[in-house]
Amino acid sequence: MAAFPKTNQSGINMKRRAHNIYKSQKLIRVMVEYDETENAISSITITGDFFLYPEEALETLETNLIGTKLERHALKQEIDNGLKNSEVYGFDSTSLTEAILGCKS
């Protein structure tokens, strides 16, 4: 995991970019940008050695996670909602939640 701060003109950290590689049933790599003040996701990319059907489900999930608080319950709930009409091989909502939260540690 690595984090790279962004600062505003006053030098105050507002957004942070981080990534995490998490081993579940398959490998999950998460790159996230989040607002430290709001503790919410600004941007997220999820890749790895897993399969998700339909293919658009991953893009939809990433879009739906924007604005979600980086808190276990909120993330898991949003991921569960995003995956309910999809077939997933290689991870579950709990492991993806942990992969995302790993970006903050």
Ordered DSSP codes for 40-101:
EEEEEEEEES-EEESTHHHHHHHHHHTT-BSSHHHHHHHHHHHHTTSEEES--HHHHHHHHH
Instruction: Report which secondary-structure segment, H or E, holds 23.
Output: strand 13-23
Domain locations in the chain? 2-104
Give the pLDDT score at 1: 45
Residues 44-84: tens digit of each pLDDT: 999 999 999 998 999 999 999 999 999 999 999 999 999 99
Mean pLDDT, residues 10-32: 87
Residues 26-35: tens digit of each pLDDT: 999 999 999 9
- Mean pLDDT, the chain, integer: 89
The CATH topology of domain 2-104 is: Enolase-like; domain 1 (3.30.390)
